[in-house]
Amino acid sequence: MVGQAGQPSVTATNTNGAWTSADATGRRMPRHIAVIMDGNGRWAQARGQSRLIGHAAGAERAKELTKTCGTLGIEVLTLYSFSVENWNRPADEVAGLMELAALQLAAEREGLASNNVRFRHLGSRAGLPPRVLDELDATERHTASCTGLTLCLALNYGSRSEIVEAVRSIAVRVQSGSLAPSSIDEALISDSLYTAGLPDPDLVIRTAGESRVSNYLLWQISYAELHVTSTLWPDFDAAALDRALSDFAGRTRKWGRLSGQEGP
């Protein structure tokens, strides 16, 4: 089950201004994990099944990963579910994905709340079916007071369009005279993105062996560690996550500094 409130299995410390965390064995842990869930279709096709069967299997894996991350005390888990480019897929697959999203949100809402998981939608609302929007809104409302893991679903998400929206919102403030151009800084831009208020991802996991970021959190992952695995998403189990976490723990995060100067 997802870790209960007040009982995380990680501890946080502040070293030279940089927040880090460690599990019970002392292994350094990420605060925020972002996942590009790839390989559902290939997983299904290898079994002679439809791509939608693969997406359903991937949804179950996402559910399991959420539980595991909650138990580990991870603060934020962001899952790349459907990109703005995915609208170009066959209409029947897109319709099936939207139906699956609505069904999963409705089915998992109570479980998220009972396990203290807060849900957030990252992405554009434009173009999403009304039923999906209703389920997204209901799940956000139902879990708004939860204080454990924050689960972000990047649905109808594209990082370039996110940045464009942020720039437009800032431009409106400048045009109205409520914001001076000299006041625009990185913090303001970060606060204008879908991820406002969340720590940037420390670790990006991409499954199915593809070595690209696919228009995902481009601003936010500028100093994230990347872990690419050939494992297809429906097969990405707790052992695969543990390998990714061990990989992360072995990295030296310098943020442009020299070795021995770790920390932002």
Q: Domain of 86?
A: 21-158+201-248
Which of 14, 16, 38, 156 does the annotation list as catalytic?
38
CA pair distance 35, 203, nearest whole angstrom: 8
**217 falls within a domain:** yes
**187 falls within a domain:** no
State CA 97 to chain mean position distance: 18
**127 falls within a domain:** yes
**256 falls within a domain:** no
**262 falls within a domain:** no
pLDDT in tens, 36-74: 999 999 999 999 999 999 999 999 999 999 999 999 999
**79 falls within a domain:** yes
Q: What is the pTM of this model?
A: 0.89
Give catalytic status of residue 14 as yes or no. no
Q: Coil, strand, or helix at residue 55?
A: helix
DSSP structure class, residue 2: P
Alpha-carbon separation of residue 15 from 28, 187, 226, 251 (angstroms): 12, 22, 23, 16
**57 falls within a domain:** yes
Q: What are phi and psi of 253, to 5 degrees?
A: -95, 110
**206 falls within a domain:** yes
CA pair distance 108, 112, nearest whole angstrom: 6
Give catalytic status of residue 38 as yes or no. yes
pLDDT in tens, 79-114: 999 999 999 999 999 999 999 999 999 999 999 999
Give the CATH number for residue 134: 3.40.1180.10
CA pair distance 77, 54, nearest whole angstrom: 21
Number of domains into which the chain is organized:
1
Which of 23, 86, 134, 235 does the annotation list as catalytic?
86
Alpha-carbon separation of residue 86 from 83, 137, 173, 205 (angstroms): 5, 22, 32, 19
pLDDT-derived band of residue 18, with 50, 70 and 90 as boundaries? very low
